[in-house]
Homo-oligomer: A and B are copies of this chain.
């Protein structure tokens, strides 16, 4: 279906805008993505929005036209609206000209196929949506299968995380679970659990990694709980040459993931 909405007080606009808040995302099982670049990634990964908002009077990009057709074909709605209303939806004065509403795509552990990828990222109690989104983007780049979010995590489907992921939220499998669930699932099959730690002398380049390798990163402020570290098959550390004793969580994950991937491609 295709229609136009011009009024700020339209209930659909309010409902969609509410998806910027976690409680409404949970309740509705839907989330927002903005901008052609991210929505094109989503489309390529087979995710079509239920609702597609676009600014009237824009020169249509060919990808936008294709996306519109997909939405109509899958019984979604294309809604033409003003840039003022798009600004309201996106909370930005200079909004993207496309906003999509997608249904929740998080998975359960049981649906992960661990052999489908050589690397999996695991993040414990991530707090920062930018870090989380960046991890998804990095995971896509290194060919990881997905991101397993352990314990209380910032929402991977927040607008900020989706934006930082640059679309990888649609290409990486995303699971949210408790540590005990993850640990039980992990040990029910093959898998090497590797944590970065300050409590070890093992250089991250001196260790041997094998697929499927689960790279575990701890909370930004606290790092990994000791009991989680003790469950790792391997604890490694990156050399630090400066004053600080830690890297940003998304940075540490990326440096680790590229090392693991580099070892694997050397064979």
Contact = CB atoms under 8 A, between A and B. Distances in A.
B247 A141 contact: yes
B241 A164 contact: no
A138 interface: yes
B247 A138 contact: yes
Contacts of A44: 243
A139 B241 CA distance: 9
Contacts of A134: 248, 250-251
Interface in A190-241: 205, 238-241
A137 to B, nearest CB: 6
Contacts of A137: 244, 247-248, 251
A248 B137 CA distance: 8
Interface in A122-167: 130, 134, 137-143, 164, 166-167
Contacts of A142: 241-242
| 7 nearest A-B pairs in the assembled complex, by CB-CB distance | A143-B241, A140-B242, A251-B254, A134-B248, A255-B258, A171-B243, A141-B240
Interface of A: 41, 44-45, 130, 134, 137-143, 164, 166-168, 171, 205, 238-244, 246-248, 250-251, 254-255, 258-259, 261-262, 265
